[in-house]
Structure 1
Amino acid sequence: MAYNVNPFLERRSERTTSDQEFALVFSPKILEKLSDEAFKGGVHIFRSAPGGGKTTILRAFTPSVLRSFWRAKGTNELRESFPLFVEKGVLDDQEGPRLLGVMISCASGYADLPASASAIEEGPFRALLDCRVVLRTIRSLGTYLGFSSDEALDSIQIEYSDDARDLKNIPAHGSARELASWAEAQEKRIYAELDSFAGRTSQTLPSSPRFESVLWLQAVRFLQDGKQVATNRLLMIDDLQRLRRKQRDGLIDELTVQRPDFPIWLAMRTLVLGDSLLSQGARIGRDINEYALEELWAGPKGIHQFSSFAQNVLDRRMNRQVTVTGSFSQRLRDQLDPDEIRPFVKPGIDAYRTAIQPHEGNVRYREWLARAEKSTSEPTLEMLLGLFTTRILVARDAAKKQLSLDLALPAEEIDEKDTSSLRGAAEIQLHEELGLPYYYGLETFCVMASYNVEELLSMAAVLYDGIVASQVLGKRSPELSPFEQEKLLRDTAERRLSFVPKQHTEGTRAHRLLVSIGGYCRERTFLPNAPYAPGVTGIRLSQSEMNKLQSGTKALGEQGELLRRVLSECIAENLLLQRPSTASTAREAGSILYLNRTLCAHFGLPLQMGGWQDVSCMDLIDWMSRGWKPQKRLAMGG
């Protein structure tokens, strides 16, 4: 049976699919990146842009999903996953779940509570969170033990350690059913009071001076037939960005101060530009740990590791349908055929000859140009790359300010200067000038996802439709050609940008700013001498500029505050990728804002990171307000 007509259309499978389906499509590769520290006592914050995989990770550790993993342990889909869960100590091969994962969401209810004048008046928020944690814990416990209904809760008794003496607002009932009934009644009472007072603060609303549910979860012992069960616990709170800032900050602060002896996972969208997650006196690595999901793939091998994870995700989805056979990668051709390259050979040679024509009589480049000209007899992609690489090197040498002797440069020097970044610049110039495909192949596709699972699935859905259409049309080749892949991916990139004004609070300004950054990066990328090879894909704000941005209206006025909101939203929504920039002898530290890699495809830019240009906040304010205007293109050699 097919999992879906298009198995990649279900973006948020972590919330909508059954536990069994979730277990079968869940990729275990992400577990390999989770630090063992995340399973130790303390507060652990997982953050990413929307679609980064936060909720997927949390749901994987709920009792119902763990039990689904355990039941399906002998299937091919679970061959990789199951041993990793056993290694993490959350599943036992014989007995099933060994972790009581309690997951609640902040997506609804909490922000409806009356706003308070001070942090100490957030009592109703604490009371609502406490009763939900208690209720979800007891229901999760039933699933953990394999109960099919709440009737079996009568067999669970509760004991309390000495630490429970400090509990003031959660009753010390000895029966799991009694405590569940209290939690349900408490939640109903809170909402009844809210409805009756139409949003006005009521003195009769249940209130708590502190978050007690963590202390309760740490102090209780659950017994079944006199035997203690579920001693290994994990509290997971999702969608923290849906809380009001005072609620969120207060929750993180109190949980950190309590220093729980079991892990608490908090999941939220990325907060940027001055929004702090640390409570007063807390220290990263001791009291609180942060995990940026995009940064889990950081490092020299990051994109290769993400590609492995992405391919696993794609193939698991592919296996849930019957329309197309084979793996996803087998349907994406990653090389151009000689017949596809041939139409670009003459235009490429002509473009090269036109560019170097002013230098043909210069003895300095005689050997370089002779070697390039000799290669034109071979109609290959490698020949075209060689011509454009030579063209860039000539432009670089001709642009040097210092005087040099007109001695012939040896041809071998080209090989010494032919680096991967230079080759990348030649590739993107071939794409820009000739239309030779650039955005194709599995690895390129994975890079375009910007380490974001939802973006990966969004593009995969489009490619899958193309694969099915090719199959229906009876194409001789079962693969999508590089030309077909590029068209589909660039169409997706165009739609991604076009939706910005409709889907974001400051969408019109964000769109104008992104288009400006894209245009500016293009201008710096396609200079004849490719000084920032393979190209520029981001802008940098120095620390001084960042300080101006974070000072509110003091340094930059109302427009500065508006720019801060626009940039914050772009980063939080994965439209801009923020990376730190360390100080050097020539410059101070700062922050680099790279374009989302899908947007790079829209603007015809390379996908590698590393190329950026310093700008000022005033530049960005001007671009956001009026748009960027291109400078006159520099002529070759000048």
Structure 2
Amino acid sequence: MSNPFEKRATEYLRDDEAFLSVVTPAPLFTFFEPKARDGVLFDRLVVVIGTPGSGKTTIATLLRYQTMLTLQRTTGMENRTELILALSRCGAMRDGEIVVCGCRLPLESEYRDFWELPYPDPVKTGLMHSLLQARAVISWLQSLREDHARTLDEIEIVPKDPSPGRLEQIGGTSGTAAYSRACEVEREIYRIGAALVAPKLDSISRLAVDAYAPFEVIEKLRVHRSGSAAISEYQPLVILDDAHSLHPQQVSELLRWLARREQKASRWVLMRLDSQTPQATLLDSFEDETSEEGEHGPKVAREVTTIWLQRKDDRRTQRTQFRTMARQMADRYLRLMETFNRSGIASLANLLDRPAEPITTARERELSKRLLKVQEDLKIPDSVRKDLEREIAAYFEGAKSEDDNADVRLAMLRILMYRFARRVPQVGLFEAENQEPSRPVSANSGIADGARVQLMHEYSRPYYFGMDVLCDASSENAEIFLQLAGRLVSLCETRIIRSSRPGPSLSASLQHKELRQKAAEMIDEWRFPERKLVRLIVDGIAAQCIEKALEPTASLEGGPNAFGIPQEQFEKIPSEYPRLADVLKYGVGYNAIHVKQDHGTKHATWCLVELGGIAIMKYGLSFRRGNFLERTSKDLAKLIGNETA
């Protein structure tokens, strides 16, 4: 079998059982369960926004009726219990039974083509809306037939309002009549959209333009079991995936229409982050940005549940949750590979969590000589050096890290010497023995991290290795994780096939080398809008962060990986630097950079413009969050030559 890490989860969509075997329910628990507890997942429009690879289509596929039916029937699946629990917590299942009939409609180029038709805007919009509704009804009814196990006559439409006019326009309450009507509407509108030359408006069939609003009529779908008195009811759910493929005005009209309170069918719209305006992307203000035309139009901000698949509030929890999810996903994918099954290997972490590798003995001697020179130049007495060495030893006695090699201790000692020298008055050598620093010089995990970063740049000491590093480099994005992991899994598989003497596990140095090389390749392969200018921003931030990280005192410990812009300044970027705002939008939308709002420190509030995980790895920076360089909006704009507000 080919390496499943090199496939996206959506490539398994044709086989529900294969898809379910690799999918993880973590996003449902993290992003959807809280909304379900608030009761706002199925009673109004839900807009799900995320970057490519964040799991939008995976979630849409999991909520399909057919997928849930496969899950319900396949009892031997390893993750079955967890998936059913997640779907139950989100309200799609109850007591192991399906209660939501979901269908996924990908909004590909076919729907955008309707915007090019030579008709008035209301006609173009109405045709697309009718087509979507007809296809949703067809999908719901086909799903409930369960591969022809039951007939359409066993399915009943439960209307919100049983008025004759409403029922007539959808075909009635019987499954057979509603299905027939939906097929007629779908067929007529498809003919219009697919025609090489659009028919004249006055020649369009009345069937295509007559009233057809099943979303406003259908409240429930009821199934009568043949030969039994049992009745099942389902909440209809349509999931419109890839809405960013539409024309921007189509998206606006679609959201406004779906947000109307008259709609009874549940409606979810999934779209990429970069489909939003710069202000919405940078300031998390989707609801404020959605247009509200006139006083009588729907107030979308009150009618929409917005779910961002990148949480900005508790990022530490999100990182921990992603590590758990990624481990589960990696192990499931690994079990799909026969090479690892035959070898009894079921955990990727066991192959990657290797001990740190210190620098060579020769380089360690060189570092020791440099340290003596530093001690001499800074006039650090031997007694002070011994105190600093004891401080480092005390730190490692209580530290969780197992990387306490001599090279790390020497690099930490060098940093502490520079800090000591900076914090005491400049005096003679003998006077320095009695001098106390203005602030205590102490060893901690930040100093250790700074030492390892400096050793990486000076002596090529491996820094990026292990399962947690692989997860953190992925910026909480499943697709990036699979791309990075795929590189390492291929190496492990080759070692098994060749019966390599060291075994399938990868050394720290090999992981470090391969991950940095893969990160550089991924950046070179960026193909999104404004990628050249995004690259200028990434390169500019990285260069200044590296310079700071390599300062002798390691003043920001492991070093910064972000620019910190005063929050008030950042909020004005869309109006003062619109070009910069547009570039930042695409950088955020494709995981090149991340934006952390309202970061409070140094008696001020900042917005952090952070490098994405693969950029951090390419340039050799720390994954530790919170350290930043104080900059202004103008400094950020200078990176792309956009200095004029």
Normalising by the residue count of structure 2, what TM-score does the alignment of the two structures yield? 0.83
CA shift at 1:55, angstroms? 0.8
Cα distance, 1:114–1:29 mapped onto 2, change above 3 Å: closer
1:471 counterpart SS class: helix
Q: Does 1:394 align with 2:396?
A: no
Q: Does 1:183 align with 2:199?
A: no
CA shift at 1:329, angstroms? 1.4
Does the CA contact (< 8 Å) of 1:193 and 1:202 recur in 2?
no
2:520 corresponds, among 482, 494, 497, to 494
CA shift at 1:314, angstroms? 0.6
Unaligned runs of 5+ in 1: 628-638
2:104 counterpart SS class: strand
Matches within 5 A, 1:212-223: 212-218=213-219
1:579 counterpart SS class: strand
CA shift at 1:611, angstroms? 1.5
1-structure distance, mates of 2:632, 2:579: 15
CA shift at 1:73, angstroms? 2.5
1-structure distance, mates of 2:347, 2:498: 20
CA shift at 1:272, angstroms? 5.4
Does the CA contact (< 8 Å) of 2:215 and 2:265 recur in 1?
no
Q: What whole-Å deviation, never above 9, does each CA across 1:181-235 have from its counterpart, x for those lacking one?
A: 3333333433433455746984666887999343133376565658754333333
CA shift at 1:451, angstroms? 0.4
Matches within 5 A, 1:397-546: 397-400=420-423, 406=432, 408=434, 417-476=442-501, 477-500=503-526, 503-546=527-570
Does the CA contact (< 8 Å) of 1:332 and 1:441 recur in 2?
yes
Structure 1 partner of 2:258: 255
Q: Given residue 177 of structure 1, which amino acid in structure 2 is its aligned partner?
A: T
CA shift at 1:163, angstroms? 6.4
Cα distance, 1:619–1:299 mapped onto 2, change above 3 Å: closer
CA shift at 1:107, angstroms? 2.3
1:479 counterpart SS class: coil
Structure 2 partner of 1:636: none
Matches within 5 A, 1:225-624: 229-258=232-261, 263-270=266-273, 271=276, 273-275=278-280, 276-278=285-287, 279=290, 280=292, 282=299, 287-295=303-311, 298-324=314-340, 325-336=345-356, 342=361, 345-362=364-381, 365-368=384-387, 371=390, 381-400=404-423, 406=432, 408=434, 417-476=442-501, 477-500=503-526, 503-551=527-575, 555=576, 560-582=577-599, 586-587=603-604, 589-624=605-640
1:592 counterpart SS class: strand
Q: Which one is further off, 560-569 or 186-195? A: 186-195
1-structure distance, mates of 2:180, 2:247: 29
Unaligned runs of 5+ in 2: 293-297, 395-401
Q: Which one is further off, 128-137 or 442-451? A: 128-137
Cα distance, 1:515–1:337 mapped onto 2, change above 3 Å: closer
Q: Which one is further off, 365-374 or 72-81? A: 365-374
2:45 counterpart SS class: strand
CA shift at 1:485, angstroms? 0.9
Does the CA contact (< 8 Å) of 1:99 and 1:234 recur in 2?
yes
CA shift at 1:8, angstroms? 0.8
2:72 corresponds, among 67, 70, 73, to 70
1:232 counterpart SS class: strand
Does the CA contact (< 8 Å) of 2:235 and 2:266 recur in 1?
no
Does the CA contact (< 8 Å) of 1:272 and 1:571 recur in 2?
no
Does the CA contact (< 8 Å) of 1:344 and 1:436 recur in 2?
no
CA shift at 1:85, angstroms? 3.3
Does the CA contact (< 8 Å) of 1:113 and 1:199 recur in 2?
no
1-structure distance, mates of 2:368, 2:156: 82
Cα distance, 1:304–1:161 mapped onto 2, change above 3 Å: closer
1-structure distance, mates of 2:84, 2:212: 35
1-structure distance, mates of 2:354, 2:217: 56
Q: What whole-Å deviation, never above 9, does each CA across 1:109-138 have from its counterpart, x for those lacking one?
A: 2221236999x9344334323333333334
1-structure distance, mates of 2:406, 2:391: 8
2:278 counterpart SS class: coil
1-structure distance, mates of 2:193, 2:262: 32
Root mean square deviation of aligned Cα = 3.8
Does the CA contact (< 8 Å) of 1:132 and 1:183 recur in 2?
no
Does the CA contact (< 8 Å) of 1:345 and 1:380 recur in 2?
no
Q: Does 1:147 align with 2:147?
A: yes
Normalising by the residue count of structure 1, what TM-score does the alignment of the two structures yield? 0.83
Q: What whole-Å deviation, never above 9, does each CA across 1:391-425 have from its counterpart, x for those lacking one?
A: 223323433598899464789x97x7323222221
Cα distance, 1:116–1:333 mapped onto 2, change above 3 Å: same
Q: Given residue 107 of structure 1, which amino acid in structure 2 is its aligned partner?
A: E
2-structure distance, mates of 1:169, 1:585: 66
1:295 counterpart SS class: coil
Does the CA contact (< 8 Å) of 2:616 and 2:623 recur in 1?
yes
Cα distance, 1:89–1:194 mapped onto 2, change above 3 Å: closer
CA shift at 1:313, angstroms? 0.6
Does the CA contact (< 8 Å) of 2:392 and 2:412 recur in 1?
no
Q: What whole-Å deviation, never above 9, does each CA across 1:11-65 have from its counterpart, x for those lacking one?
A: 1436644111001111133333232424442222222110011110111110111
Q: Report the number of matched residues.
A: 605
Q: Given residue 216 of structure 1, which amino acid in structure 2 is its aligned partner?
A: V
CA shift at 1:482, angstroms? 0.7
Does the CA contact (< 8 Å) of 2:357 and 2:461 recur in 1?
no
2-structure distance, mates of 1:168, 1:92: 29
Q: What whole-Å deviation, never above 9, does each CA across 1:479-514 have from its counterpart, x for those lacking one?
A: 1111111111111101011112xx122222222332
Does the CA contact (< 8 Å) of 2:145 and 2:151 recur in 1?
no
Structure 2 partner of 1:635: none
CA shift at 1:608, angstroms? 1.4
Q: Given residue 310 of structure 2, which amino acid in structure 1 is its aligned partner?
A: E
1:602 counterpart SS class: helix
Identity rate of aligned residues, in percent?
19
Cα distance, 1:261–1:466 mapped onto 2, change above 3 Å: same
Structure 1 partner of 2:295: none
CA shift at 1:72, angstroms? 1.7
Structure 2 partner of 1:634: none
Matches within 5 A, 1:155-170: 155-162=154-161, 167=166, 170=169
Cα distance, 1:262–1:186 mapped onto 2, change above 3 Å: closer
2-structure distance, mates of 1:374, 1:593: 36
Does the CA contact (< 8 Å) of 2:138 and 2:182 recur in 1?
no
CA shift at 1:369, angstroms? 5.4
Q: Which one is further off, 506-515 or 195-204? A: 195-204
Cα distance, 1:168–1:121 mapped onto 2, change above 3 Å: farther
Q: Given residue 578 of structure 1, which amino acid in structure 2 is its aligned partner?
A: V
CA shift at 1:444, angstroms? 0.5
Q: Given residue 515 of structure 2, which amino acid in structure 1 is its aligned partner?
A: L
2-structure distance, mates of 1:600, 1:169: 60
1-structure distance, mates of 2:640, 2:145: 56
Structure 2 partner of 1:630: none
1:521 counterpart SS class: helix
